[in-house]
Amino acid sequence: MPVPVVRVHCRDRIYSPFSGQPADGSDGPNRKDPTLLFVYYSEPGIYAHVSQRLQNALNEDIEYLDPEVVHLSIDIEGGLVLEVETDIRGVNYYGFAPEE
């Protein structure tokens, strides 16, 4: 079953609903957060972070997946994708899942 997509409008920092840690900051994605699966920035249109956990769970290369449908390929129990309308930077996507 695909993980759910939650659409939000936010101009502030995004936090993991599982760890409470920020998903990204001035240095880019928070690679230390074990609950962060991926980060996709629509400007410039790249996956800025793909966790090893997600790479292991995917049946295909995320680089070729459209961020609007990546949730269909994630089969991690409790996972979710946040689709964040940022106004200035377009729509960014963040994948999260509870720690293993």
DSSP string of 58-96? -SS-GGGS-TTTGGGG---TT-EEEEEE-SSS-EEEEEE
Listed residue (39, 1, 23, 18) closest to 98, CA to CA: 18
- What's the pLDDT at 44? 83
pTM: 0.93
Q: Quick count: other Cβ atoms within 10 Å of Cβ 52?
A: 8
* CB within 8 Å of 61: residues ≥ 6 apart: none
- What's the pLDDT at 64? 83
- What's the pLDDT at 5? 94
- What's the pLDDT at 52? 93
- What's the pLDDT at 80? 95
Question: Average pLDDT for consecutive 10-residue bins of the chain (100 residues)?
Answer: 91 94 93 96 91 88 86 91 89 94
- What's the pLDDT at 57? 87
- What's the pLDDT at 11? 87
